[in-house]
Amino acid sequence: MSATFKRRLPIPKEIKAEMPLSVASAERKKAVDEEVAAIIKGESPKKLLIVGPCSADNEDAVLEYASRLAKAQDEVKDKIQIVMRVYTNKPRTKGTGYKGLLHQPDPEGAPDLLAGLKAIRHMHLRVVEETGLFTADEMLYPENDRFLNDMLAYVAVGARSVEDQQHRLVASGIEVPVGMKNPTGGSMSVMLNSVYAAQHPQTFIYRNWEVETTGNPLAHCILRGYKGLDDINYPNYHYEYLERLAAAYEDDKNYQNPAVIIDTNHDNSGKRPLEQIRICSEVLDSVARNKDIAKLFRGFMIESYLEDGNQPIGGGVFGRSITDPCLGWDKTNRLIHDMADRL
């Protein structure tokens, strides 16, 4: 048993210098960040939609999807602020299998983390510069945040990471909203503790620095369903769960900007992506019926790609997920517009 230190990887400053964000895009991002922050704070009537592939594996397919999504954003901009999911790390429950673009720029090839760091920067950069959309990624590895932070308008901490101290502390220093998912076992208190930690000032070691943060008041909850002790998936987007979360926030006045995003896939849908349409409708019904839920609800996270479903690596269908199954583009586009009509 041993670990081999193969090579020194570039630091974020070096990668950014090699692939810089344009001045024009950096200026545009300020306005988008302000809009997204206003939504999380409840100061804007718009809702947030974080939508895109389960895993961004193919740059050409991701850019084709992004170009279509940018057109939809322009059509619903008065009601919805879209941030595109460009997820370049894939958590694996058992630690094996395809771990995303960062690990394998070629999904059929061997791991290459140097090429992967450049590939994830290049993909996010093309989406931003060519379509005008800003992006979201999962903070699977806290050390990687600085490679992309000038382009990310939203960050998610996944169900397997939400109890981890380093994720919570790094989230406290991120300058955009960070969504904390409920853990795989479903504990609401674990999720809320993570939000609390991220909202408060912290001191910790990060990338060989002693770091102090001021806290992130935009940290909030994401409900994504959970796996029960019987190993069956259970949703937590129903009226009763939303009502319970609203009450938990109300009972503790130490939280800033109480907010929730509903992840419509994963254990909420049982990884049945077509159910995401029905789930959005039910949540919007709950929002319409209960003022406390309406006060808390900020938007949706949806897994969507060019084609419905998924396929094995090397399956050959352009724009179909090679990880979790996704909602295809035509159905996604209708869902976005139907959602805008209801808001």
Residue type, 3: A
Say what the pLDDT of residue 175 is. 97
Say what the pLDDT of residue 36 is. 98
Q: How many CA atoms lie within 13 A of 26 on its CB side?
A: 8
CATH number at residue 180: 3.20.20.70
Classify residue 313: in a domain, yes or no.
Answer: yes
Give the residues of the chain that fall short of pLDDT 70.
none
Using DSSP bridges, classify how beta strands 260-263 and 152-157 pair: parallel, antiparallel or unpaired. unpaired
First to last CA, the chain: 56
| pLDDT tens digit sequence for 82-112 | 999 999 988 877 777 889 999 999 999 999 9
**Residue 35 near residue 81, CB atoms below 8 Å:** yes
**Residue 284 near residue 339, CB atoms below 8 Å:** yes
Classify residue 107: in a domain, yes or no.
Answer: yes
Say what the pLDDT of residue 95 is. 72
Q: How far apart are CA 201 and CA 243, in angstroms?
A: 29
Q: Which residue is associated with the tokens 């060019």?
A: 306
Classify residue 53: in a domain, yes or no.
Answer: yes
Give strand pairing partners of 310: 321
Say what the pLDDT of residue 53 is. 97
> Domain span at residue 173?
32-342
Classify residue 7: in a domain, yes or no.
Answer: no
DSSP labels for 139-161?
Answer: -SSGGGHHHHTTTEEEEEE-TTT
Classify residue 27: in a domain, yes or no.
Answer: no
How many domains are contained in the chain? 1
Say what the pLDDT of residue 102 is. 93
Spatial CA neighbour of 81 closest among 11, 142, 34:
34
Classify residue 6: in a domain, yes or no.
Answer: no
| CA 288 to each of CA 293, 335, 339: distance values in angstroms, whole numbers, following the listed order | 8, 18, 13
Classify residue 174: in a domain, yes or no.
Answer: yes
Classify residue 2: in a domain, yes or no.
Answer: no
Q: What angle do CA 245, 276, 164 make, to 5 degrees?
A: 50
